[in-house]
A and B are shown apart, each in its own frame.
Chain A
Amino acid sequence: MPRRPPPRRLLLPLPQLPDELKQNRLTLTAILKSREPLRYSPAGIPILNCRLVHQSEQVEAGLPRSVTCEIPAVAVGEVAKVLHSKQPETEWQFTGFLATKRRFETAELHIVEIKETPRAGPQDT
């Protein structure tokens, strides 16, 4: 009477560093674009999905170039409410880590902190 084995997680055969030595931190100055309605997990945790658009000039292989980058982001908990209070089309400095929701999906920025952009306050674009 065989029983179904539990589903296996995707584990990559990589040399394992201790967790405190592994880096996953991204700070991105970006414009808050399309924002989904604030929703709640079954346990009542607020969750907000949105998209962030970053535009800047960066140096690559010794030459300057302009960069555009649009990525999905999600905020869970208190920071979701903070994000919810921000006007769309305003620019902020988002900090968080990258994670994929499902296998083979694009990485999402999990926002843990939202700060005003260093040079001035929120700017209308």
Chain B
Amino acid sequence: MKLLRVALPVPVFREFDYLAPAAEAVLPGRCVRVRLGPRRLLGVVVDLPLESPVPRATLLAIDSYADDLPQVPPDVLALARFAADYYQYPLGLALQHAVPPRGRQGAPLRAEKPAAYRLTAAGAAGLRNLPARASRQAQLAAALAGGQSIARAELLANSPAAGAVLARWLASGWIELAAPEQDPEREGTALLPDLNAAQATAVQAIVAAAASFQTFLLHGVTASGKTEVYLSAAAAAIARGQQVLMLVPEINLTPQLADRIRRALPFARIVLLHSNLPDAQRLVAWRQAAEGDAQFVLGTRLAVFAPLPRLGLVVVDEEHDMSYKQQDGLRYVARDLAVYRARLRGVPVVLGSATPAMETLWQARAGRYLLLPLPERAIAGAPPAIRLVPQRDKQTIGGIAAALRAALAANLARGEQSLLFINRRGYAPSLLCAACAWAAQCHRCSARLVVHLGEQCLRCHHCGHEEPVPRACPRCGDQDLLPLGFGTQRLEGVLRELFPAARIARVDADSTRRKGTWASLLQAILDRELDILVGTQMMVKGHDFPGLTLVGVLGADNALYSADFRATERLFAQLTQVSGRAGRADLPGEVIIQTDFPAHPLYQSLLRHDYEAHAESLLAERRQLELPPCSRLALLRAEAAQRSAIESFLAAAHAEGQELARESGGVRVFPAVAARMARRAGFERAHILVQSAAMRPLQDFLGAWRAWLVDNAPRNVRWALDVDPQELD
């Protein structure tokens, strides 16, 4: 018997030793099934020690090797180790990101479902009489119409609901199981658009770095054709027989982008990896990546851990996006891990953005990242004209300024599409009693309840609490309660009154909750079946709407009031992105922003499309206040049912932290403060901010502090260390 050191998905900062038959050769990264007390767990071998601190007689043997799962390759193991160290998180839990989804429970995987279907004669007849409304069924029928057998995974890719339809057709004998056909050899040549000079230079630089680690910052203004650069560089990598990993911020983005990649690189097998994918499909994609079959892996942040034996290029699109940060568990920033992974593998990594994060820009200025500018729009036409109009004046009706109303009317008359962007869903962000100043509060959070008029309820957007709209003010009894402010629902209503003839749709997390609604809305927008859209940020990320020429922005000023030091950075990025939606094709675009502060430097930089000036002022501010990227931060977050519990815990943690900080120079531990949201979902929240000029001393400090926290945190306090926090809330 020999010793295996196994990392298990349990919240402790240690690994466990097990025995295994000596005969078989084992390398770190192999998955094993083991028992830990009464539980059966799936673990990953991380080391092969010669001796164990535990007496051999008390060690258990592993149950089995989990060879039905792909092994964790060495670079992913190293990445997980790095992430666990850096983000102060148990290795066994961090490694969960490196194990494909179905294996997590530790149970052996069920046999795969039959892999392909073929249309029967009865089915061919039956499917001719589908009701006209059944568009999804028609899509499936069309896919099967050729008579050859089609892989189940391929059919499911059309729509998530396809599984139920297939089961029904199978039961009624319309389709039959078939042996999966050998995957046709994918062929064709890359269909890449012509590149302009800047794009070509960028591609050359990336391709030239092929066999070495180099981080590129592809800084391109909106519509400068960053995607073409990614695709050209990817085509070169695939031609060398390598795999490409591309990260994108949003799941919403992937279908449109995946189509574009498929068209450009018809010879490549492209797989998607994101958390909305059913586990079985995710496992298939994971396998294809692990076996090197998939040349192009497109995914959200979790894909940074995907096994890629022939990795040749890493791309992080919209690298500034907040959604690269995981907000619980292993609180990693996928963009930073992507850079680390590229370094482990000695391959180039491209970070693309129109508004790079200050951290990324900082690295580029320090010469660690190579800047590849795309200063011109690839698509002909001037950038959209931006106008600032007063948010509140006498002519404002229902929150929409006169200038914006006029522009909407003109756009409508021209038959072009408009988008009103407001980052607030619901009808109104609060419900107020004017008589006694009562406002509807969530009883579990320090937040106001949002009025959802359509659903006749008040909702907390932080904890999900829901209650009916009160008939009268609970404090004074006045029934004339006022919804205060504007959300998407209210704006939609206003627009319907102002433009009764227009076809109006609302796009937010509420209106697209049901599966498939977003896809059909997207199609309706592309088919020009809609005139005016009211949407939150889910409307603005990465979608190309050729008919959209006017964008109105409401409530942008809210970010200026925020206490978060990154709020203005994010606002600029968001407004740049929103503006990028207007007039992409041959039509000129216009952007109208409602604001009470037209002279604010942020808006002035935006008017001139001047990211540099904005970045300069942000960096000056950060330097003065010693905030990232001019320093490094970590946050000890704590929450508990009783405020007294976190107060005493954080006081002790602060005292210990100051003690430790004295030893490691340059680390400052600030006193505990209540979180901006002092209460959430019934828990009191507070945190301690730690700041350091450099990462190394901060890491040393955090390691020691964490050890103390693990030993001394009371059981009634939940705590977490957040390294490089994205929000100080």
- B678's contact among A3, A42, A47, by CB below 8 Å, is which? A3
- B434's contact among A3, A44, A76, A102, by CB below 8 Å, is which? A102
| Cβ B471 vs Cβ A45 within 8 A | yes
| Cβ B480 vs Cβ A74 within 8 A | yes
| Cβ A43 vs Cβ B470 within 8 A | yes
Contact with A along B469-486 (1 / 0, CB 8 A): 111100110011101000
Contact with B along A69-82 (1 / 0, CB 8 A): 00000101100000
Chain A contacts of B674 at CB under 8 A?
1, 3
Which residue of A3, A42, A99, A102 has the most chain B CB atoms within 10 A of its CB atom? A42
| Cβ A7 vs Cβ B437 within 8 A | yes
The docked-state distance in angstroms from the alpha carbon of A100 to that of B481 is 14
Contact with A along B123-151 (1 / 0, CB 8 A): 00000000000000000000000000000
Chain B contacts of A3 at CB under 8 A?
446, 674, 678
**B192 within 8 A of partner (CB):** no
Chain A contacts of B350 at CB under 8 A?
none
Instruction: State whether A41 and B672 are in contact (beta carbons under 8 Å apart), knowing that A1-B647, A102-B434, A102-B435 are contacts in the complex.
Output: no
- A41's contact among B480, B647, B686, by CB below 8 Å, is which? B480
In B8-39, the 8 Å CB interface with A consists of: none
Question: What bracket does the count of chain B residues touching chain A fall in?
Answer: 20 to 34
| Cβ A1 vs Cβ B481 within 8 A | no
Chain B contacts of A45 at CB under 8 A?
471, 479
**A119 within 8 A of partner (CB):** no
**B431 within 8 A of partner (CB):** yes
| Cβ A42 vs Cβ B480 within 8 A | no
Chain B contacts of A22 at CB under 8 A?
none
- B435's contact among A42, A43, A99, by CB below 8 Å, is which? A99
Q: Closest B-chain residue to A74, C-beta based?
A: B480
| Cβ B678 vs Cβ A1 within 8 A | yes
**A101 within 8 A of partner (CB):** yes
Question: Taking the nearest CB of chain B, how far is it from the CB of A102, in angstroms?
Answer: 6
**A65 within 8 A of partner (CB):** no
In A7-34, the 8 Å CB interface with B consists of: 7, 9
Instruction: State whether A43 and B678 are in contact (beta carbons under 8 Å apart), knowing that A1-B672, A99-B435 are contacts in the complex.
Output: no
Chain A contacts of B468 at CB under 8 A?
43
Chain A contacts of B107 at CB under 8 A?
none
**B524 within 8 A of partner (CB):** no
Contact with B along A37-79 (1 / 0, CB 8 A): 0000111110100000000000000000000000000101100
Chain A contacts of B436 at CB under 8 A?
9
| Cβ A42 vs Cβ B483 within 8 A | yes
Chain A: residues with Cβ within 8 Å of the partner, total of 17
Q: Closest A-chain residue to B440, C-beta based?
A: A42
The docked-state distance in angstroms from the alpha carbon of A24 to that of B451 is 33
Q: Closest B-chain residue to A45, C-beta based?
A: B479
Question: Taking the nearest CB of chain A, how far is it from the CB of B397, in angstroms?
Answer: 14
**B453 within 8 A of partner (CB):** yes
The docked-state distance in angstroms from the alpha carbon of A16 to that of B470 is 29
Instruction: State whether A1 and B479 are in contact (beta carbons under 8 Å apart), knowing that A43-B469, A102-B434 are contacts in the complex.
Output: no
Chain B contacts of A1 at CB under 8 A?
643, 647, 672-674, 678, 686
Chain A contacts of B481 at CB under 8 A?
41-43
In B403-459, the 8 Å CB interface with A consists of: 427, 431, 434-437, 446, 451, 453, 456
Chain B contacts of A99 at CB under 8 A?
435
Q: Closest A-chain residue to B476, C-beta based?
A: A9
Which residue of B451, B479, B483 has the most chain A CB atoms within 10 A of its CB atom? B479
Instruction: State whether A77 and B479 are in contact (beta carbons under 8 Å apart), knowing that A43-B470, A43-B471 are contacts in the complex.
Output: yes
Q: Closest A-chain residue to B646, C-beta based?
A: A1
Chain A contacts of B427 at CB under 8 A?
42
Instruction: State whether A42 and B479 are in contact (beta carbons under 8 Å apart), knowing that A1-B678, A9-B436, A101-B435 are contacts in the complex.
Output: no
The docked-state distance in angstroms from the alpha carbon of A99 to that of B483 is 21
| Cβ B434 vs Cβ A101 within 8 A | yes
Contact with B along A85-104 (1 / 0, CB 8 A): 00000000000000111100
Chain B contacts of A77 at CB under 8 A?
479
Question: Taking the nearest CB of chain B, how far is it from the CB of A97, in angstroms?
Answer: 12
The docked-state distance in angstroms from the alpha carbon of A100 to that of B672 is 44
Q: Closest B-chain residue to A39, C-beta based?
A: B480
Question: Taking the nearest CB of chain A, how far is it from the CB of B472, in angstroms?
Answer: 8
Chain A contacts of B673 at CB under 8 A?
1
Contact with A along B672-690 (1 / 0, CB 8 A): 1110001000000010000
Question: Taking the nearest CB of chain A, how far is it from the CB of B310, in angstroms?
Answer: 53
Chain B contacts of A41 at CB under 8 A?
471, 479-481
The docked-state distance in angstroms from the alpha carbon of A101 to that of B479 is 11
Chain A contacts of B672 at CB under 8 A?
1
The docked-state distance in angstroms from the alpha carbon of A74 to that of B437 is 19
Q: Closest B-chain residue to A49, C-beta based?
A: B480
Question: Taking the nearest CB of chain A, how far is it from the CB of B60, in angstroms?
Answer: 47
Chain B contacts of A43 at CB under 8 A?
456, 468-472, 479, 481
The docked-state distance in angstroms from the alpha carbon of A4 to that of B153 is 55
| Cβ A47 vs Cβ B643 within 8 A | no
- B480's contact among A7, A9, A44, A76, by CB below 8 Å, is which? A76
| Cβ B434 vs Cβ A42 within 8 A | no
Q: Closest B-chain residue to A10, C-beta based?
A: B436
| Cβ A42 vs Cβ B451 within 8 A | yes
The docked-state distance in angstroms from the alpha carbon of A113 to that of B672 is 58
Question: Taking the nearest CB of chain A, how far is it from the CB of B284, in angstroms?
Answer: 48
The docked-state distance in angstroms from the alpha carbon of A46 to that of B525 is 37
| Cβ A42 vs Cβ B469 within 8 A | yes
Chain B contacts of A47 at CB under 8 A?
479-480
Question: Taking the nearest CB of chain B, how far is it from the CB of A118, in angstroms?
Answer: 30
Chain A contacts of B479 at CB under 8 A?
41, 43, 45, 47, 76-77
Q: Closest A-chain residue to B431, C-beta based?
A: A42
User: Can you list 19 A-B pairs, Cβ within 8 angstroms, ordered by A?
Assistant: A1-B672, A1-B673, A3-B674, A3-B678, A9-B436, A41-B480, A42-B451, A42-B453, A42-B481, A43-B468, A44-B469, A45-B479, A47-B479, A47-B480, A76-B480, A100-B435, A101-B434, A101-B435, A102-B435
6 nearest CB pairs, A to B: A1-B674, A43-B469, A43-B471, A42-B469, A7-B437, A76-B479
8 other contacts beyond A43-B481, A45-B471, A47-B480, with CB at 8 A cut-off?
A: A1-B647, A3-B678, A9-B436, A9-B437, A43-B456, A43-B472, A99-B435, A102-B435
